[in-house]
Amino acid sequence: MDRQRIKEIVQEVVQKVLQKPTKVPIAVSNRHIHLSPEHLDRLFGRSYMLSKQKDLSQPNQFAAKETVTLIGPKGKIQKVRILGPARGKTQVEVSLFDGFTLGVKPPIRNSGDIEGSASVTIQGPRGQVTIPEGLICAARHIHMQPSDGDAFGVSDGDYVQVMVDGPRGVIFSNVLIRVSQNYKLEMHIDIDEANAANLKNGQLGEIVAIERQISEGGG
């Protein structure tokens, strides 16, 4: 029995066991920043209101017209887009490549998990602020509705593998499932990951395996 035949049998078995939808549209996140109301004031002036440039695919989120400059020990990155609305804590999401440009090492974290993450200086038109933590490289993840979770057989907090086809095809491991009524089905990866797979915005990925489930109730 050769390897190809084994592979075919495995694929058939897995397909029969799963019998579930597997395709997810992928969105490529460029570097961006979420500002706390306080930092928005310090960078743009008191009671400043962000102007919407366009809506994002996740409900109520928008890309602002305003941008800031990030400054690190080795370099700066201009025109970093602000995503609105202003919210709890300031969080800056960059690629590892951006980290080299700035001269800092952003840890790979899930959004919101910024404790002990990297420091960076943020320059706005009316001021500058250095955050002691909040600079991260966002871990790859999939947003979905609870009904999507039911259909895919996964729950919030599970990890899956997602395959992207093509000459530069890859299978991404450790893709976090995030389930909420507020989410639209979409996988988020950064620019480094998109380039590594030569992947364009909106391309489909395929969930090929469930790696870790937080409970057996997920299926």
Binding site for a second copy (CB under 8 A): 1-3, 6-7, 10, 13-14, 17-18, 95-97, 108, 139-140, 161, 167-174, 191-193, 195-198, 209-210, 219
Least distance CB 2 / a second copy (angstroms): 8
Instruction: Please report how close the Cβ of residue 115 comes to a second copy at its closest, in angstroms.
Output: 17
Is 49 or 108 the residue whose CB approaches a second copy more closely? 108
Cβ-based nearer residue to a second copy, 108 or 214 = 108
Alpha helix (H) residue ranges in 27-123:
37-44, 96-102
C-alpha span between 90 and 136 (Å, rounded): 11
Nearer to a second copy, 56 or 171 (CB): 171
Largest CA distance in the chain: 72
For the bound state, the minimum distance from the C-beta of residue 129 to a second copy, rounded and expressed in Å, comes to: 27
**CB-CB contact of 142 with 162 (8 Å):** yes
For a second copy, which is the closer residue by CB, 121 or 195? 195
Nearer to a second copy, 126 or 168 (CB): 168
CB 115 within 8 A of CB 96: no
SS3 for 82? strand
- Residue 75 vs 132, nearer CB to a second copy: 75
Half-sphere exposure of 158 (CA within 13 A, CB side): 25
Beta carbon of residue 36, minimum distance to a second copy (angstroms, whole number): 27
CA dist 123 and 129 (Å) reads 7
CB of 67 to a second copy, least distance (A): 17
Per the CB < 8 A criterion, the answer to whether 111 and 176 are in contact is no
Q: Tell me the closest approach of the beta carbon of residue 95 to a second copy, in angstroms.
A: 7
What are the φ/ψ torsions at residue 127 (nearest 5 degrees)? Answer: 175, 180
CA 205 to chain centre: 15
